[in-house]
Amino acid sequence: MSHQSDLIATDIDTYLQQHEKKQLLRFITCGSVDDGKSTLIGRLLYDSKMIYEDHLTQLEADSKIVGTTGGKFDPALLTDGLKAEREQGITIDVAYRYFSTAKRKFIIADTPGHEQYTRNMATGASTADLAIILMDARHGVLTQTKRHSFIVSLLGIRHVVVAVNKMDLVDFSEQRFEEICDEYRSFAARLDLPDLHFIPISALDGDNVVDRSERAAWYTGSTLMNFLETVYIGSDRNLQDFRMPVQYVNRPNLDFRGFCGTISSGIIRAGEEIMVLPSRQKSKVKEIVTFDGSLEEAFAPLSITLTLEDEIDASRGDMIIKPGNQPKTRDQIDAMLVWMNGDSMVPGKTYLFKHTSQTLPGTIDTLMYKVDVNTLHRSPAPQLELNEIGRVSISLDAPIHFDAYRRNRSTGAFIVVDRISNATVAAGMILDKSGDSSAKTVWDEEAQDDQSDQNVSAVAVAGEERAARFGQQPATVLLTGLTGSGKTAIGHAVERMLFDQGRAVAMIDGETVRRGLSRDLGYTAEDRSENLRRSAHLAHTLNDAGLICIASFVSPEESVRQKVAKVIGEERFFVVHVATPVEVCRERDTKGQYAKADAGELRNFPGVTASYEAPVDPDLVIDAAEKTIEAAAEAVIELLKEKKVVK
């Protein structure tokens, strides 16, 4: 059955009230062929007692006929319902399943693993909050694993679980599990996967799916079901930018005129001022009307009808926003495009572009590059073929109102429709050249390579001369840890000690950089990454001048820290993890940031509403709860002596 609960038999009204208030989690399973995606979902539902008895009886009978488990119960048949799927033992179409537990409601999308069905995988991922990427423990990271990981990153799915399946076939080897984790981390370091987790499982036998495995006693983390029930997704929804595309104008009589639509993002309250685009007419919300009655406030993704205090003109395709928070309005955009049609993309051909509630003609002017999703390298190409992904420049016949896809998945996405066949041929994600998109592309290896190829004029003072003058080797020490861990205080103490020893040293920290060099950035994962990129180049410049740079940043992502190391030079970059427990950090919080994050006022706050990834192999670990600032600073000085930065 869909959910087990004692309240169903004793108090159905209370059960329905609880069920209605549960949070919904949408997730997908993806990975290469035969990695066990359908088997995992079947086992997840079977072990959770979420299959009707008559359905289970039928599945057991089908397992003997078309199953792949030697006549035993085959969980994959629960989602592989097409005849062709059962004959071939593969998933072709996206299969959706709905169920709930005592804590959450779920919608699962079982997506295909074959390369020719990549477009189906992208369809299932477009609305997901979380992705489960399966890998066969025997094979590790395969080409299709990389392809799906890239699409997951491209579509902005923040939470990713790498489920290493078929661990029973490698005797639940901890060493093999760690090898696969390291291999995947190395590849994923070039993607935008801010919340990454690894779980060893056996989908066929149920190990670590719902119940903890006795055969993997070395694994102390969460089971898959427990993780799905507890992963925090509250900060993923954009509640800052109010956007409501108008879908329909409701005029049942002379006394009522309402604008109907689904809130794409943000919050609206009765009495607040709004603006209608493109006319830019302003008014105030008179009433928020729903089927169940009027509301004082509404938020995404509710479907509502707004009545206004003034009679203003608005129709389908217009967008209602708040005057102080406006989207971009342009008729030319750059976007990443996933081509989903057998006919090639033709630059210059007129297509229909459906964006929010607006449909208008336009052309794909230029294909800037095609992405090889197996290597992530870019290459020039004349056109896109089926399942290929590339960056394009688009000209529309009229302006649209949009946000960058990374900021708002609703107003940053669109589909492309063929005008003749009326078939959907592509899905697109809008890039904001002045904002998020540039922050994502500047780390690219190609950009780094281009910089190294440029003709750099000869320096007037060589690095050896600076080292001889200052009596030290240039280096950057990154102090990383949670807010309130004490990293900045330790950094200043290190700076003071080195300066008193006659060293040439400079200190930079996140707050100082954000007041100047990164004043235009916020605190999203992309903005934090861009802040580190700018700071890395600043530290690199200080090192080139012969100085020792002490850098204090939260720097919550391991992949970004690795990029910083490449910019500065791995031989002169050292990571110090200030691993102060979060409870101590909370006690030291004088600005009330943790309390605001707990209340949902601060989004993307590492340790509360966002994850913090501890450094994989730091040069030094300091617990500032056990050591004084002076003792911690002396430990950093000893590290520099050990690395022969100073004598």
Q: Answer yes or no: same fold for 243-321 and 328-437.
A: yes
Q: pTM above the 0.95 mark?
A: no
Name the residue ranges covered by the structural domains of the chain.
7-230, 243-321, 328-437, 462-642
CATH architecture of 462-642: 3-Layer(aba) Sandwich (3.40)
Burial of 420 (0-12, 13-18, 19+ CB in 10 A): exposed
**pLDDT tens readout for residues 522-541:** 777 777 888 899 999 999 99
User: CA–CA separation, 567 vs 578, rounded Å?
Assistant: 22
User: CA–CA separation, 256 vs 250, rounded Å?
Assistant: 8
List the beta bridge partners of residue 196: 160
User: CA–CA separation, 334 vs 347, rounded Å?
Assistant: 14
- Token pair 């009204």: residue: 13
Instruction: Report the share of the chain in percent with pLDDT over 90.
Output: 47
DSSP state letters, 569-626: -GGGEEEEEE---HHHHHHH-SS-HHHHHHTTSSSS-BTTTB-----SS-SEEE-TTT
Tell me the CATH class for 243-321: mainly beta
- What do you get for the CA distance between the two ends of the chain, in Å? 70
Q: What are the phi and psi torsion angles at 256 (to 5°)?
A: -140, 130
The pLDDT value given to residue 89:
42
Query: Which CATH code of 3.40.640.10, 3.30.70.270, 3.40.50.300, 1.10.150.20 fits the domain covering 7-230?
Result: 3.40.50.300
User: CA–CA separation, 620 vs 475, rounded Å?
Assistant: 15
pLDDT tier, 1 (very low <50, low <70, confident <90, very high otherwise): very low
Cis peptide preceding 75, ω within 30 of 0: no
Q: Is the pLDDT of residue 514 over 70?
A: yes
Query: Which CATH code of 3.20.20.60, 3.40.50.2300, 3.30.470.20, 2.40.30.10 fits the domain covering 328-437?
Result: 2.40.30.10
Weakest mean pLDDT among 44-48, 191-195, 317-321, 627-631: 44-48
Q: Is the pLDDT of residue 416 over 80?
A: yes
User: CA–CA separation, 231 vs 20, rounded Å?
Assistant: 19
